[in-house]
Amino acid sequence: MVTGFLGPNGAGKTTTLRMLLGLVTPTSGSTLVNGVPYRSLPDPTRTVGAVLEASGFHPARTARNHLRSIAIASGIELSRADAVLDLVGLGPDANRKVGGFSLGMRQRLELARAMLGDPKVLVLDEPANGLDPQGIAWIRGFLRWFASSGNVVIVSSHLLAEAAQTVDDVIILANGRLVSHGPLQQLLRGATNTVRVRTPDATRLVQLLAESKEEVGRTRLEGQDTVVVEGTTPQVLGPIMASNAIIVYEMTSSGESLEQLFFQMTEGSQLGGGPIAQPWAPPVPAPGGSQ
């Protein structure tokens, strides 16, 4: 399950995630992971992996040694460093100094750090921020793979078009308050559907729809030959046009996007990478080995 935590800059996304991880104490209420506060988890790094902001990289330290130092501090076996580097596609760069890494490689190294404890939950704050399209596609593929194994991802983002391709559920914040939450497809099904009809009988069609007993939504004329009907479907308009011999040159239907819904729910609040060659693909276990 991938849950998108969406909202304009300053809506409270990062603060909420920090509260979830015990880094900020809420003035009221509580944040729980598996029913208990994060700080009360017996082994938090093996339960939740988090990337909230860029951590300090020693530029002269190799990627492997960077992760090994974190593993030692967390009581995690050193072999996990190489395992997670392979997982995020940085295995060939394990001995490179982090100071020479591109933005995209540093993002993947941060993800490798979050995966050191083999957690079942990932909490990520704007993981695609600053990445090029290839890097964004890689992140998307990784998160979908991680979630497909029965794990949970909570990812904040203001890249709405990208979120629509990645998340299953959405939580939308505005001005520090919950605006909406639920399955993405359910929210989109409740959105307004718009049908555009291009016809030489545009004026007559508008009149017919105004007189129709069917609930056809709000109708308006665009130019001389296009009728726009909001809140309906071609299945509703088609029989009306056929029974009245309306000539149709073109008919298109489109539902509202996540971006349109977002702006409606937040009243239009303003929204606030090195190259990766290929989209991420699941690792292939070695023969006889375990993943």
Q: Which of 217 and 105 is assigned the larger pLDDT?
A: 105
The 3-state secondary structure of 249-270, one letter per residue: CEEEEEECCHHHHHHHHCCCCC
3-class DSSP assignment, residue 83: helix
The identity of residue 225, as a single letter, is: D
Decide: residue 85, CB within 10 A, 0-12 exposed, 13-18 middle, 19+ buried.
buried
pLDDT tens-digit readout, 229-257:
987 888 889 999 999 999 999 999 876 56
* Band of residue 191 on the pLDDT scale cut at 50, 70, 90: low
Residue 271 has pLDDT above 80, yes or no: no
Q: What is the mean pLDDT of the chain?
A: 86
* Domains along the chain with CATH numbers: 2-188 (3.40.50.300), 192-255 (3.30.70.100)
Residue with tokens 């105004």: 210
Around 267, how many Cα atoms within 13 Å sit in the side-chain half-sphere? 5
Question: Which pLDDT belongs to residue 288?
Answer: 60
Question: Which pLDDT belongs to residue 267?
Answer: 65
Tokens at 189, concatenated: 């099904």
47 closest CA partner among 5, 76, 82: 76
Any idea what the Cα angle at residue 275 is, between residues 271 and 276, rounded to 5°? 105
Residue 79 has pLDDT above 90, yes or no: yes
| Residues near 106 by beta carbon (within 8 Å), at least 6 away in sequence | 54, 57, 98, 274
Question: Which pLDDT belongs to residue 192?
Answer: 62
* Band of residue 91 on the pLDDT scale cut at 50, 70, 90: very high
List strand residue ranges (DSSP E) for 80-175, in order: 121-125, 152-157, 169-174
For 32-36, the CB contacts below 8 A with 24+ separation are 33/121
Asked whether 212 and 251 are in contact (CB, 8 A), the reply is no
Residue 40 has pLDDT above 90, yes or no: yes
Sheet (strand 250-255) strand order: 218-222, 226-230, 193-198, 250-255
